[in-house]
Structure 1
Amino acid sequence: MPIKFGTDGWRAIIADEFTFANVRLVTQATANYLLQENGPGQLIIGYDNRFLAPEFACSVAEVLTANGFTVYLPSRSVPTPVTAWAIKKYGAAGALMLTASHNPPAYCGLKFIPEYAGPALPATTSAIEKEIAAVGTGGEVKTLDLDTARARGLVRELEPEAAYREYLRRLIDVGVLRKAALKVVVDPLYGAGIGYLEDFLRAAGYQVEVIHNHRDPLFGGALPDPSARGLEELSRRVRETGAHLGLALDGDADRFGVVDGDGTYLTANQVLYLVLAHLVLDRQYRGPVARTVATTHNLDLLARAHDLEVIETPVGFKYIGAALREKGCILGGEESGGLSIRGHIPEKDGILATSLVAELRAVQNRSLGAILGDLQSRYGQLVNQRLDLKVDPVAKERILQELPGFAPAKVAGIAVTGRLTVDGMKLTLADGSWVLLRPSGTEPLLRLYVEAPDGERLHRIQQDVTAALRI
């Protein structure tokens, strides 16, 4: 099976496709690409808490040093956003990160992060895939024993935690946190983010309790996913301790999860809305806002009221990262839990996102639910839902063939005002509602996103679209 890069790197099942041989193959291909682009230089290596991740990282280092690169290799796991940030700190040519993010424990992954410290764009991953094919059909995979590489000065230690926390102090108003001295429960979900968020908040004067803060490659028998289901224990602990907030990270700490003081889980769309409001209203930021086609238009309601441009991208934080780099966006976000802001790296960062939530909670000195209610009263409200619709491959192919010609004048009796095909098929409606249908790239699923002013209209739109396409 050919090795392909998906939305965020190559991921596969450990000991099946994700083997030491294939990790060396992908690393050699990446080295070939970089040597053709700029020659040898410095590279960062990061890895999460998954099974054999440290050992895979050593294999990556052995291949890179054999190809003339100097590598920064950590002695413990490092979050994806911190690995990306280290590229800038050390002036490296990029990074290789071993992670499968929030995927099941059986998976691991490897991705290349370019010199700008954000996700690689398709042109880069396609070039690396061509190198993978070339190396896999007779090319040489070079390796250098790690002890020899160390003796030659090609391996340097990477201990970024203290420096990253100090850097975070420049992005977050620590004085506000210290004055509020709120109580928070932190859940790093056994992942690479252990120690980062809790230590930062403690140093800023917060009272912090931590759960799931030791390495467990099985992630407690669940997914390292900060979803409502994945954070049930965090919600319970927030209620039991009377904490003001519950803050969580996924397995590699690039995505966030947030629980209000009453134990209510907030969706990523709600958190993005809150953070954008904090940036615009409290910090007085002005500039464009970037979101994916699948992300809430509540951001648009707030942006429109303040004459801010909204840039809509395909799904995938690589496109958000490009907007942050090229358009000077004050915030970039996606409904799957990714967020970054102007002045930070163009990579999603759960540590930054949750720290911003702590800051806005301290500034407002009231529950997130109360803040959200005020925003909805001031700017309007849209409710949203994503449905993952299981379809057999034949039906999926039929629907995808019909989709380019699907252009109704009305949906659920509401006039269609716009049609977008940048990623799937998206219709915008006269009352502010919208519907997006896009296929999963890896599963027999169609993802149906709908947002509307109320739940009744949302369900009518869902029913109308699924009936029209015979899903």
Structure 2
Amino acid sequence: MIRFGTGGWRDIIGEKFTFDNVRKFSQGIANQILQNHKQDQGVVIGYDNRFMAEEFAKASVEIFAANNIRVIFLTPSVPTPLVNFVTIEEKAAAGLTFTASHNPYIYNGIKYVHEGGLPATEDITTELEKSINAVQADEIKRIHYNRALENNLTIRKDYTNEFITFVESQINLDLIKQANISVLYDPMFGTGINSLLTLLVDSRSKIKIIHDKADPLFGGRVPAPTESSLWRLTGMMKEEQYDIGIATDGDGDRIAIIDEKGYYVDANEILVILYYYFLEYKGMKGNVVRNISTTHLLDDISNYYGFECIEKPVGFKHIAEGMLQSDAVLGGESSGGITIKGHLLEKDAILSAGIILELLAYTKKPLSEIRQEIKGKFGKRYFKEHNYSYEAEYKEHIQSVIFGTAAEKLYRGDLLEHKTYDGVKWEWSDGTWCLVRFSGTEPVLRIMVESPKDDKIEGIIQNVMKVIESSILSHH
């Protein structure tokens, strides 16, 4: 059974992520495209630096080509935002990126983007999942990759320049060129390197890059730009003099930054900084969209300027939906995905990096000063995420326990809201909140807590853990 999680399908290589299942997945998508008479629009396929990603992508090309659906096969390995861009530019029926994003190196996956570069809605993914799992082995059509090339059923093309031209049209490149910004960049052995390096060169930034080689093991780290995984970048920022440190995840759609003093700035704070910059400095007007697990400091800023912060479930398709519905200027999530009005309706670390450079050039202030400025106006919120690994047999039991947990077992405060539309979220009157939900991509329970009081966070996480573990012990 192939299941769509957040934005696509991910599984362990050799277990469920196999050539047979990739072919089955591709035939299922091809069947939907044929059924909807979209075959003349073709598809776009790209891949990242994961183990055998190009070979898996070629296997997919063979299926679409055999179904007479022309494939634009991107070269070299590319960030996911570039696939989304080409899907829009070429008016393709779909875009597929072979990546497991920030998952450990034992995973691979396929991110799916719908026609128009839009994240697939739940209705679409439900239909796709049905179509894929209905495919029988003898129904899969296949043509050899070399024949697909010879018969012009697929073309290989590098769209890096076109993509960067598009990104640069969204920022004030001339202003950045004058600022002479020094940048330390960590692509985490991933595919952000080609696109972001081109942007940094075009912006006349002074650049130093680490972890720039393709490595399917990602240097033994999980390719997620977390504080713990970016220890070398943080250390170098403290020892050497740079204006900004930038990191992108394995497929170049999530971002983290380090300020000039060497302090890690997480995705929540990046969203806050960008939204504040748009409203306070650039005079832009508009709402902001965040998911249920993202900082409420965005709510405070939107209220201050007379706008609305719209909360959505986890999954970037919901952020995109909110952007379209509310004409928001910014949307994002605490895991590092950010989208901006007028750009792709998917997360893009390349553009996010460009806007951060523009912020430094426009304000003529170091990032630490902007952070202090925001703290002075809106205070500070502390955020922590803890991942609890569980055995599959206990999932339903854990779910029932969490949904039945009373707020007072976690934190003593006045409960304002108790939400259950995506996991369980408790919100208290002092600004503290806790969200507990199952990951859509790996067998972990995510426990997220935010509070204006740093000393309260760990206690809430420990209380959630006690509830879960005591219930499992009593369940034996």
Q: Could you tell me how far apart the structure 2 residues matched to 1:391 and 1:182 are? A: 45
Does the CA-based 8 Å contact 1:387-1:448 persist in structure 2?
yes
Does the CA-based 8 Å contact 1:409-1:415 persist in structure 2?
no
Q: Could you tell me how far apart the structure 1 residues matched to 2:229 and 2:435 are? A: 26
CA separation of 1:465 and 1:129: change in aligned 2, threshold 3 A:
closer
Q: In the alignment, residue 12 of structure 1 is paired with which amino acid?
A: D
Q: Could you tell me how far apart the structure 1 residues matched to 2:87 and 2:385 are? A: 35
CA separation of 1:397 and 1:55: change in aligned 2, threshold 3 A:
closer
* Offset from partner CA, 1:322-378 (integer Å, 9 cap, x none): 222333221111001110110011110111112211221222223322211111111
Shift of 1:459: 4.3
Q: Could you tell me how far apart the structure 2 residues matched to 1:101 and 1:25 are? A: 21
Instruction: Please list, as runs of the form range in 1=range in 2, the aligned pairs for 1:430-441 lying within 5 A after superposition.
Output: 430-441=429-440
Instruction: Please list, as runs of the form range in 1=range in 2, the aligned pairs for 1:194-205 lying within 5 A after superposition.
Output: 194-205=193-204
In the alignment, structure 2 segments of 5+ residues that lack a partner are: 472-476
| Percent identity between the two aligned chains | 36
**What does residue 174 of structure 1 align with?**
173
CA separation of 1:11 and 1:390: change in aligned 2, threshold 3 A:
closer
Shift of 1:122: 2.2
- Give 3-state SS (helix, strand or coil) of 2:97's partner: strand
Shift of 1:243: 0.7
Deviates more, 1:449-458 or 1:162-171: 449-458
Q: Could you tell me how far apart the structure 2 residues matched to 1:155 and 1:395 are? A: 46
**What does residue 48 of structure 2 align with?**
48
Q: Could you tell me how far apart the structure 2 residues matched to 1:84 and 1:124 are? A: 17
Q: How many residues align?
A: 469
**What does residue 422 of structure 1 align with?**
421
Does the CA-based 8 Å contact 1:410-1:416 persist in structure 2?
no
**What does residue 340 of structure 1 align with?**
339
Q: Could you tell me how far apart the structure 2 residues matched to 1:15 and 1:463 are? A: 36
TM-score by length of 1: 0.93
Shift of 1:257: 1.7
**What does residue 187 of structure 2 align with?**
188
Q: Could you tell me how far apart the structure 2 residues matched to 1:139 and 1:283 are? A: 58
Does the CA-based 8 Å contact 1:80-1:97 persist in structure 2?
yes
Instruction: Please list, as runs of the form range in 1=range in 2, the aligned pairs for 1:273-292 lying within 5 A after superposition.
Output: 273-292=272-291
- Give 3-state SS (helix, strand or coil) of 1:176's partner: helix
Deviates more, 1:392-401 or 1:49-58: 392-401
Q: Could you tell me how far apart the structure 2 residues matched to 1:237 and 1:384 are? A: 25
Deviates more, 1:49-58 or 1:320-329: 320-329
Shift of 1:239: 3.0
Shift of 1:455: 1.3
**What does residue 474 of structure 2 align with?**
none
Would you say 1:454 and 2:453 are equivalent positions?
A: yes
**What does residue 66 of structure 1 align with?**
66
CA separation of 1:413 and 1:75: change in aligned 2, threshold 3 A:
closer
Q: In the alignment, residue 24 of structure 1 is paired with which amino acid?
A: R
Does the CA-based 8 Å contact 1:48-1:79 persist in structure 2?
yes
In the alignment, structure 1 segments of 5+ residues that lack a partner are: none
RMSD: 2.2
Deviates more, 1:448-457 or 1:268-277: 448-457
TM-score by length of 2: 0.92
- Give 3-state SS (helix, strand or coil) of 2:455's partner: helix
**What does residue 118 of structure 1 align with?**
118
Instruction: Please list, as runs of the form range in 1=range in 2, the aligned pairs for 1:104-183 lying within 5 A after superposition.
Output: 104-136=104-136, 140-183=139-182
Q: Could you tell me how far apart the structure 2 residues matched to 1:147 and 1:446 are? A: 44
Q: In the alignment, residue 79 of structure 1 is paired with which amino acid?
A: P
Shift of 1:445: 4.1
Instruction: Please list, as runs of the form range in 1=range in 2, the aligned pairs for 1:39-438 lying within 5 A after superposition.
Output: 39-40=38-39, 41-136=41-136, 140-390=139-389, 397-406=396-405, 408=407, 412-438=411-437
Shift of 1:405: 4.3
**What does residue 24 of structure 1 align with?**
23
Shift of 1:255: 0.6
- Give 3-state SS (helix, strand or coil) of 1:116's partner: helix
